[in-house]
Amino acid sequence: MQAYAPGRVELLGNHTDYNDGVVLAAAIDRGITLEGDLSGNGIILLTSNGEQVRHDLEYRWPEPLTHSTWANYPLGVVRMLLEEGYEISGFSATISSNLMTGAGLSSSAALEVATCLLIEKLAGFSLEPMARAKLCRRAENEFVGVNCGLLDQASSVFGAENAAIHLDCRAETVETVPFPEGFALLITNSGVKHELTGGEYNERRNQCFEAASILGVKALRDTTSAALLAADMPDVTRRRALHVTGEIERVQAGVQMLKAGDGNGFGRLMFESHESSRKNFENSTPELDALVEIARSTAGVFGSRLTGGGFGGATVSLIDPQQADAIIARFAEEYQKITGITCQTYLTTLAEGAH
């Protein structure tokens, strides 16, 4: 039995998900595949890149590992399913991926979603799609220890061919928005590993909650950039919150631009988003900034920004597919000159979700 879940690229809506906001993302044509069978003996055997992790369910439920930490993502899904009352008798699974890890393309969520789908098929039960996404988020929150929102898992579950995903994180609803013809997405890995288990992510999250508390609102979804500018709060807290409210406003504008086929306008929003990440949220890096500045001066590029949590990883650029070869060559040449790093680039299509 096989289960596959794609990675995702965040188009607009950076760090809005845990602020009850809205996000635009897309599932991409690369992801993670699990191939497995029931073991029937209560043993979980996970294999990835030649490394194996074994867990005996008859002995105890999974607990987070301090070694082979990649296995915490599938083991976290197992733990959440057990807590929900589902019966799992044990299984073996081999994990393979063509998704760049450490690039901010949500390989962790893809692994969680693929694991959940495989277990469902092997054990003979089926979760509703949103319930699957929410259970996988719980695994990352409660087992892995990253307080992410719903974006990554929902994008992997609800991906659609040639369409962006408009996620309302408060209502927990998904709308697919057709992507305009004549535009393509180029993902460029900065070569600086993206790692959200560090303290920066949780620190930014807490600063957003602090701003909402000062304003007396449930979440930053419930305020505006204008209200933040008028409020009395620490400067760093205000800047973090301004990034989120600005992103929510950009998503709302971006949905309308996609529906109108206005790729040029959407690209301008992407550049604005990155500038806010750089100045207000401070989750960019010099390498990501360099890639975006190269994009600004490259013919055939309409917009570019960091994608995902930031602190390393990749950028996503909206480009003219007919100029893709020249764009890729210029990115590689200029980035090498500026940083001394060889970047990885690939064109991606907006793809189907987990299956």
- The sheet that has 344-348: what strands, in order across it? 301-307, 314-319, 184-189, 344-348
Q: Tokens 């699957």 — which residue?
A: 132
pLDDT score of 106? 83
Which phi-psi region, left, alpha or beta, contains residue 160 (left: φ > 0; alpha: ψ -120 to 50)?
Answer: beta
7 Cβ contact partners less than 8 Å away, ≥ 6 residues apart: 27, 28, 30, 31, 32, 99, 105, 106, 107, 109, 110, 156
Say if residues 87 and 123 touch (Cβ distance below 8 Å). yes
229 Cβ contact partners less than 8 Å away, ≥ 6 residues apart: 238, 242
A 10 A CB-CB count for 232 gives 6
Say if residues 304 and 270 touch (Cβ distance below 8 Å). yes
97, β-bridge pairs: 32
Nearest residue to 166 (alpha-carbon basis) of 353, 269, 24: 24
| N-term to C-term CA, the chain | 11
pLDDT score of 317? 98
Q: What is the mean pLDDT of each run of 10 residues along the chain (355 residues)?
A: 96 95 96 94 94 93 95 98 95 94 82 98 96 97 89 95 96 95 95 70 92 98 96 97 98 97 97 98 96 98 94 94 98 97 93 97
pLDDT score of 103? 73
Measured between alpha carbons, how far is residue 236 from residues 16, 228, 279 in Å? Answer: 17, 12, 10
Task: Report residue 297 CA to chain centroid gap.
Answer: 27
pLDDT score of 326? 98
Say if residues 75 and 19 touch (Cβ distance below 8 Å). no
pLDDT score of 105? 82
pLDDT score of 215? 97
pLDDT score of 194? 65
Question: Rounded to two decimals, what is the model's pTM?
Answer: 0.90
Q: Determine phi and psi for 301, rounding to 5 degrees.
A: -105, 125
Coil, helix or strand for 141?
Answer: helix
Pairwise CA distance, residues 57 & 266, whole Å: 49
Pairwise CA distance, residues 124 & 278, whole Å: 47
Q: Tokens 């098929």 — which residue?
A: 121
pLDDT score of 125? 97
Nearest residue to 330 (alpha-carbon basis) of 287, 303, 288, 301: 301
Query: Annotated catalytic sites, by residue?
Result: 152
Coil, helix or strand for 5?
Answer: strand
